[in-house]
Amino acid sequence: MYKLRIAALILLAVLCLSTVTSCGSGGDKTPIKDAYTSAQPDYTVAKTEAPDPWGDGLPDSDFGGTDFTVLIRTEYNYEFVAEQSGDILEDEIFARNRTAEERFNIKLGFIEKVGNTGASNSEFNTAYMNAYQAGDAAYDLVMGYQAYSCPLSMAGMVRNSLEMPYIDTTREWWYQIAKKDLTINGKYYFLMGNIGTSMWNSVYVLYFNKTVKENHGIDDNLYKIVSDGDWTFDRFTSLVRGVSADLDGDNSYTEADLYGYMSDSSNHLRQYCISADAHIAAQGSDSYPVLDFYNEHNVNVINTVCSFFWEDCVFRTAKDTSSPVNFNMPEMFASDRALFMAGFLSKAQILRSMESDYGIILQPKFDEKQKDYRVAVANGCSVVLFPIYLKNEDMSGIVTEALCAAGNNSILPVYYEYSLKSKGTRDAESEAMLDFIISRISFDFGWVHSISIATIGAALSTMIGSGNSDFASFYAANAQAYEAGFQTVLDTYKEIG
């Protein structure tokens, strides 16, 4: 009965290279439906008709001074661990935490485990698995690494967030498109919302240099083009192709020259699977997704994007140098050597001292047929996980909802100011654009589960790395691995119900 769940556990064990012994199969596996009956301490959740000063609709609740323990990644502790320091963002996170403690009579505590990428994630996932296997309600909330949380949910170790009391996934602080994209058979395991800054830091955006734009006589109002729905890949590439120059006259394009567009050949290429709606999975007729990566639209998107990346107007890391030069991109952009730069939203903090003014917009949709923009987030962002074993599910639901609502209502506006402030003040349109961008954060079932599907989400960067611009031949060479991996993921979710 547990064959496929064991396969998911084996995948976790592979990820947990450094602690494989502690990821053993010891201990009985309590069926999920029984695990929900864990003893619930008798705390008070008061129903009240009083005004709601917090704007989250949550009831007055007193949890008796109990500890509320959050498992977080050491590398991303800045999302929650904060002191009053005079830094506007850290101070706001500190205030959010203290308000939750006072409002619900809890004591917030954070357990940090290494868990950024690859084998280093083993410490974090091992801590989670050990608590599950021991039937230990050690964590009231878990902020997991998105990519490495999938094996946990596939192993039946994560609750369906749609069944958590007091979690209202229809509210504006939870991402509605993500819920639609990632719900499988009526279950939504890893919750995406405005609870932590890593989600915002990990958003893929486009920066444009206003000095370069003006110097090349580009009068287009990019914000209006975006808001009118006209920001397409063709519109973007036409602007890029009009800006390039061999500044040092050595008859080759290097990091010393001028470019229409700068990007790395890995992360920021992959995001086109989302922004250009080159989806990996589509919704099937039985409430489960189907693999739909190889289709006419995706062939057109991927071939077009890959071909564009080889043009002289594009500066791509590792294209003209023997080692990656991603660290030079912000410097080149700030030195007015590029019109556009692909980057995470967190890069705005690096650009705060930039002399030339710049703006922020989203990545283009592929063409006018695409209904709306879709905004990708790197898979290292933190997501909300609710463990099977909780000491009080009402407390977990109420406190998590309150933290996310406060993240949306209080921390996000400060984050905008923190990211956009410079020697002067960046334009108000960029701040409005950030709301526009974050409201369109999207995911794809195949993208999110990429690690379990032969790293299918890295297809574009793999093609560029190998010099291949023909998606048909690339897919044919990888189809068996993709299809087998996708089927295993589906079968595993079907087994846990």
pLDDT tens-digit profile of 133-153? 999 999 999 999 998 999 999
Q: Do 449 and 409 fall into the same domain?
A: no
Q: State mean pLDDT over 110-118.
A: 86
Q: State mean pLDDT over 104-131.
A: 88
Contact 173, 193 (CB under 8 A): yes
Q: Do 223 and 188 fall into the same domain?
A: no
Q: State mean pLDDT over 30-59.
A: 55
Separation of alpha carbons 377 and 381, rounded Å? 7
Of the residues 394, 423, 452, the one at which a domain ends: 423
Q: Residue 493: inside a domain, yes or no?
A: no
Structure confidence by residue, pLDDT tens digits, 200-212: 999 999 999 999 9
Q: Do 372 and 257 fall into the same domain?
A: yes
pLDDT at position 422: 54
Q: Residue 432: inside a domain, yes or no?
A: no
Closest by alpha carbon to 223, among 414, 442, 441, 426? 426
Domain coverage including residue 23? 3-200+381-423
More confident residue, 273 or 362: 362
DSSP 187: B
At 368, list the tokens: 């006018």
Contact 458, 270 (CB under 8 A): yes
Give the SS3 label for residue 61.
strand
Q: What is the 3-state secondary structure (H, E, C) of 439-460?
A: CCECCCHHHHCHHHCCCHHHHH
Separation of alpha carbons 368 and 384, rounded Å? 34
- Inter-axis angle of helices 88-104 and 393-406, nearest 10: 150
pLDDT at position 420: 73
pLDDT at position 315: 80
Q: Exposed, middle or buried, 364 (CB in 10 Å: 0-12/13-18/19+)?
A: buried
Instruction: Give the C-alpha distances (Å, rounded to integers) separating 228 from 33, 224, 359, 409, 428.
Output: 48, 6, 17, 27, 18
Of the residues 370, 391, 423, the one at which a domain ends: 423
Q: Do 123 and 148 fall into the same domain?
A: yes
Contact 147, 161 (CB under 8 A): no
Spacing of C-alpha 39 from chain mean position: 34
Q: Do 236 and 212 fall into the same domain?
A: yes
pLDDT band at 394 (very low <50, low <70, confident <90, very high): very high
Q: Percent of the chain beyond pLDDT 70?
A: 85
pLDDT band at 426 (very low <50, low <70, confident <90, very high): low
Q: Do 412 and 362 fall into the same domain?
A: no
Spacing of C-alpha 5 from chain mean position: 25
How many domains is the chain built from?
2
Residues in the chain: 497
Contact 398, 159 (CB under 8 A): no
Q: Do 187 and 296 fall into the same domain?
A: no
Structure confidence by residue, pLDDT tens digits, 66-95: 999 999 999 999 999 999 999 999 999 999
Structure confidence by residue, pLDDT tens digits, 431-452: 789 989 999 999 999 999 999 9
Give the SS3 label for residue 245.
strand
Q: Do 263 and 168 fall into the same domain?
A: no
Q: Residue 266: inside a domain, yes or no?
A: yes
- Cα-flanking dihedrals φ and ψ of residue 171, to 5°? -75, 160
| Most trustworthy range by pLDDT among 100-114, 280-294, 407-421 | 100-114
Helix, strand, coil in percent for the chain, rounding step 5: 45, 15, 40
End-to-end CA distance of the chain, in Å?
A: 12
Q: Residue 434: inside a domain, yes or no?
A: no
Phi-psi sector, 165: left (phi>0), alpha (psi -120 to 50), beta? beta
Query: Which amino acid belongs to residue 348?
Result: A
The CB density around residue 107, as the number of other CB atoms within 10 Å, is 11
* CATH number of residue 15's parent domain: 3.40.190.10
Q: Do 180 and 277 fall into the same domain?
A: no
Contacts of residue 375, Cβ cutoff 8 Å, sequence gap at least 6: 203, 204, 205, 274, 275, 362, 363, 437, 438, 440, 441, 442
Q: Residue 436: inside a domain, yes or no?
A: no
pLDDT at position 353: 82
Structure confidence by residue, pLDDT tens digits, 310-352: 888 888 764 433 333 344 788 889 999 999 999 999 988 888 8
Q: Do 139 and 274 fall into the same domain?
A: no
More confident residue, 490 or 462: 490
pLDDT at position 139: 98
Q: Residue 431: inside a domain, yes or no?
A: no
Separation of alpha carbons 147 and 174, rounded Å? 19
pLDDT at position 119: 59
Q: Residue 491: inside a domain, yes or no?
A: no
Q: Residue 74: inside a domain, yes or no?
A: yes
> Average per-residue pLDDT in the chain?
86
Spell 7-31 as b/e; 16+ CB within 10 A means b: bbbebbbebbeebeebbeeeeebbe
pLDDT band at 462 (very low <50, low <70, confident <90, very high): confident
Q: Do 213 and 69 fall into the same domain?
A: no
- Claim: this prediction has a pTM higher than 0.85: yes
Give the SS3 label for residue 427.
coil
Structure confidence by residue, pLDDT tens digits, 2-25: 445 545 554 554 444 333 333 333
User: What sign does the CA torsion over 328, 330, 334, 339 have?
Assistant: positive
Separation of alpha carbons 437 and 360, rounded Å? 10
Separation of alpha carbons 303 and 308, rounded Å? 9
DSSP 489: H
For the residues of 264-289, what is the DSSP string, one character each? -SSHHHHTHHHHT---SEEE-TTSSE
pLDDT band at 121 (very low <50, low <70, confident <90, very high): low
Closest by alpha carbon to 197, among 99, 73, 81, 78? 78
Q: Percent of the chain beyond pLDDT 90?
A: 66
Q: Do 329 and 258 fall into the same domain?
A: yes
Contacts of residue 345, Cβ cutoff 8 Å, sequence gap at least 6: 200, 201, 202, 203, 205, 360, 419, 434, 437
